[in-house]
Amino acid sequence: GPVTLVSGRQRRVTIVECPQDMASMLDLAKIADLVLIMIDASFGFELETFEFINIMQVHGFPRIIGVLTHLDGFHDNKQLRKVKKTLKHRFWTEVFDGAKMFHFSGLQYGRYHRLEVGNLARFIAVQKCPLLSWRQSHPYVLGLRWEDHTDPTLPPSHPRRLDVYGYVYGGRLREGMQAHLAGIGDFHIAAIKRLPDPCPPPLDVEAQRDQAKLESGQTDNNGKVKQKKNALRTLAERHRIIYAPGSDVGSITVDSEAMYINVAEHELGFTKRDDEETREEDLPSAVRMVRALQSGEASLDKLQSHRPSLQLLRGS
């Protein structure tokens, strides 16, 4: 599914992988601001690549970056340079002269080289995408996830009630407007709710931290919060947030009521696993104490029920 991450002080990036089918190409070409076209250098351009470029030309032609892969299959440097030059000029013919193209030399321990991926990520982070007038005048939402809130007692053929979660782009979205779901049809929006941002920009995070310090009295002699020089020049660890509800990346889930943090099973240190065979007597005292709190045996209500009551007056 879509993966949203923070890439700058006031910028977040949502990455979506496009399958090789016409319906997905048409849907993503309508909302894409920056397109990365992966090209297998050992095979060359495929028919789907030209189809997708032609679709994007019709839908406003967003910015396109080419990425050459499988370059480790060429052992002759002369042949490698010739293939690079041929594919680059063919790519320029379809897009425009001077279109940016990156080269991934090959996999190392199952991953691409860190330096090559870093160069591509740095270029994406500073890339300025063109503003299309049609998108700016029409609101649209990329659904990061959805929930079916239809009554489970109803038959499957009954109309469904869905909650779609995502960021609003373009114009303003209002209740009662008609929304078009790609491949399904037109529907009326029953309600819109503003939820906490799962990937807040670093500027907003630092503003909240400064406000908390100001309220707690952590200020200098002038009553101001101390600011570090070039504090947001690089992203700190607390700013590097990833929101991917459709995959195992990230741990934040947001719905209309609250925000949840999921802890992976391999990171559980105190919660009892289903396949655990260790006896309670062999566990450390800290683990036994936490599990007692989780089970509810040490809750205040149960402890209060076992304690003797205090009688101040006779008959009370």
**What is the pLDDT confidence band of residue 252, given thresholds at 50, 70 and 90?**
low
As a whole number, mean pLDDT of residues 61-76 equals: 86
| The total number of residues written for the chain in this structure | 316
> Can you give the pLDDT at residue 204?
78
End-to-end CA separation in angstroms for the chain: 62
* Pair of tokens at residue 197: 């941002």
Residues 6+ apart with CB under 8 A from 151: none
Dihedral sign, Cα of residue 161, residue 247, residue 200, residue 180: negative
The residue among 234 and 81 whose pLDDT is bigger is 81
The residue among 212 and 232 whose pLDDT is bigger is 212
The torsion angles phi and psi of 221, rounded to 5 degrees, stand at -65, -25
Residues 6+ apart with CB under 8 A from 12: 4, 5, 6, 199, 201
The residue among 107 and 278 whose pLDDT is bigger is 107
Closest CA to 161 of 153, 170, 151, 171: 151
> Can you give the pLDDT at residue 195?
84
**Of the ranges 131-140, 227-236, 303-312, the best mean pLDDT one:** 131-140
In degrees, to the nearest 5, what angle opens at C-alpha 108 toward C-alphas 102 and 111? 70
The torsion angles phi and psi of 272, rounded to 5 degrees, stand at -75, 130
pTM for the model stands at: 0.67
Contact 56, 33 (CB under 8 A): no
**What is the pLDDT confidence band of residue 299, given thresholds at 50, 70 and 90?**
low
Percentage of residues in the chain having pLDDT higher than 70: 79
